[in-house]
Structure 1
Amino acid sequence: MGEVKLFRTWSSRYALRIVWALKLKGIEYETIYEDLANKSSLLLEYNPVYKKVPVLLHNGKPICESLVILEYIDETWKTGTRLLPEDPLARATARFWAKFNDEQVMSSVTNAYVRQGAEQEEAKGRALKHLDIIENQLIGKKFFNGETVGFLDLVFGWIANYLEIFEETGGIELLDKRRYPLISAWKDNFCNISVIKENWPDREKMITKYRLTREHFNSAAAAEDK
């Protein structure tokens, strides 16, 4: 099916979805790591609108935005694990929840992570309400797709690892097993898939990165208060 290259950073949650999809499909590809503080000319050429990762290059043609890339992979390589359901309504529903994750869940969790004090508690409340909604999507299911891993599992996959990083470096508790037994069970099932657990970013590097991120936001907030 031609040459495949993936432009990514080592820690990007969005790029990680694409890594998992390519691995689940058994697609051979070349990884090109980007430094977003010093973006390559190729990245700027292939994604001139947003200038960010991930970018999938297939036979010299770029595909941008992680959700779009996931659908492209599933439609182009129909062998192996199918990511999206065949039923049009189920596909539309999956797209809805994917958008909800990217536009609501991720932003609310990140906002809670970078805040402090009373502001953090308020932001945490909003994030937990979003996680409550996600919890309900797993009633009677092993994965978001049902009994097998699929598109939404890759989209929500960051929850299975990054929340722990946020909790450790941000002093915030988010994924309480008593409140979220279904997400917790899904997390265990998801992380037991070899392709998933073998491709997480290095934990110590992640701790260092997000500790510095947290310090940066704390410093910025302190400067604004002066």
Structure 2
Amino acid sequence: MVSGGEVKLFGMWASPAVRRVEWALKLKGIKYEYVEEDISNKSGALVQYNPINKQVPVLLHNGKPIVESLVILEYIDEVWKHHPILPKDPYERAMARFWAAYSEDKVALMCRDAVRRVFFAEGGERAKAIECLEETLRALDGELEGKEFFGGENIGFSDLVLGWMAFWLGVSEEVASFEVLDPKKFPWFTSWIDNFLQVPAIKENLPPRDKTVAFFHGYRRLHLAAPNC
């Protein structure tokens, strides 16, 4: 393990944004202390270190907080330069950042919104939400054609940012009884999922699937019982 001063990660076990930071730390072998947060009863430390939005993840490095998962990933890569996450080539770095931005702007906002609508909607609205998901997967499948990972042969920045889809999208399918991860429609994307989840730093640092499924079942039941909450 690599030491680089005091490193703490404030997180919540079911958060994909927290996991992407953990994956980066694990890939680089960085020693860190993990602090689990109760998002419904946030600690004084979390509010102190992230007073703007009071959300996880927060990386604390030698007493200085860094917030927002993509910012944290780039910070980690700049401070601990071994096993780089971002490519050295300027064009490839730009493309990695593009797909990360696409992930957050298109995939995270629209796709997660679509997943939510699939979770709770019926009929035509549910069909439109699934169509949105498939449109996103089609774009990602095209980018992955002929490659193991977004950057080629090695896991990198774009993979970490999009990694939530490799695990949480399958969980969502199980909880809400829908299917979009079709190997015939999206062969390269589903192959990427298999490759990504077999990387030891990823495989060994996923939340327990049964616990995650139960968590989302509870979330769905709560919303259906009180949809305006």
- Regarding TM over 0.5, the answer is yes
User: Aligning the two structures, in what range does the TM-score lie when normalised by the shorter sequence?
Assistant: over 0.9
1:10 corresponds to which residue? 13
Note if contact 1:114-1:217 (Cα within 8 Å) is conserved in structure 2. Answer: no
Percent of pairs identical after alignment? 47
Distance in 1 of aligned mates of 2:213 and 2:87: 36
For the pair 1:25 / 2:25, whether they are aligned, the reply is no
Aligned equivalents of 1:219, 1:120: Cα separation in 2: 19
2:150 and 2:17 map into 1 onto residues whose CA distance is 18
CA distance in 2, matches of 1:144, 1:93: 10
Which aligned pairs between 1:167-206 and structure 2 lie closer than 5 A? Answer: 167-206=173-212
Contact 1:13/1:158, CA 8 A, preserved across alignment:
yes
User: Which amino acid in 2 is paired with 1:107?
Assistant: L
Please state how far the C-alpha of 1:218 moved relative to its aligned partner.
Answer: 2.4
The yes-or-no answer on 1:153 pairing with 2:169 is no
Across the two proteins, how many residue pairs are aligned to each other?
Answer: 222
2:76 counterpart residue number: 73
Q: What code does the residue aligned with 2:225 have?
A: S
Aligned partners of 1:64, 1:114: CA distance in 2, in Å? 25
- Which residue, 155, 166, 169 being the options, matches 1:163? 169
Gaps of 5+ in 1: none
Partner amino acid, structure 1, of 2:155: V
- TM-score, with length taken from structure 2: 0.93
Say which SS state the counterpart of residue 8 (structure 2) adopts. Answer: strand
Contact 1:55/1:65 (<8 A) preserved: yes
CA distance in 1, matches of 2:177, 2:129: 13
Contact 1:5 1:30 in 2 (8 A): yes
- Normalised by the length of structure 1, the TM-score is 0.94
Residue 84, structure 1, aligned to residue 86, structure 2 = yes
Deviation at 1:149, TM superposition (A): 0.7
Is this contact kept in 2: 1:160–1:191, CA < 8 A? yes
Secondary structure of the equivalent of 2:174? helix
User: For 2:111 and 2:174, how far apart are their aligned partners in 1?
Assistant: 14
Q: How far does the alpha carbon of each residue in 1:80-105 deviate from its partner, in whole angstroms, 9 at most, with x for none?
A: x2100112222122112111111221
Offset of 1:110 from its aligned partner? 2.5
CA–CA distance in 2 between the matches of 1:107 and 1:209? 21
Matched, 1:40 2:43: yes
